[in-house]
Amino acid sequence: MKGPMYREEKSFTLQFSLEAIFPDDYEGDDDHQAWTREWETRMKPDIIKVVFESLRSHPGWSAHIRNRGKSAQDEIEVALEKDFTTPQPFKI
């Protein structure tokens, strides 16, 4: 029977902060932050798509989205894994 595998981890954070500036006569959050709609429906999905396309171009790494309890509106964690448990092909 095999013992537990040794695992190492490292984190890297890329954070986006969205801001909106309104005129002095703005009455507050009556629109429920409608200005974030473009981010949620177009920009964020495009960024995630490009990130995964780039990650897939690196052999030996696998990537998936991991949810640790936060809403996908607030956080998307991309988990990358490199598996050294299988023999690597011999290269000349």
Which pLDDT value is given to residue 33?
87
pLDDT value for 1 = 62
3-state secondary structure of 65: strand
Q: How far is the C-alpha of 29 from the C-alpha of 37, rounded, in Å?
A: 14
Residue 3 pLDDT exceeds 70 = no
Report the DSSP beta bridge partners of residue 77: 66
Q: What are phi and psi of 65, to 5 degrees?
A: -85, 135
Q: First and final CA of the chain: distance in angstroms?
A: 34
User: Can you say whether the dihedral through the CA atoms of 82, 60, 62, 55 is positive or negative?
Assistant: positive
**Which residues on adjacent β-strands are paired with residue 63?**
80
Chain segment 21-75, per-residue pLDDT in tens: 989 888 877 778 899 999 999 999 999 999 999 999 999 899 999 988 889 889 9
pLDDT at 30: 73
Length of the chain: 92
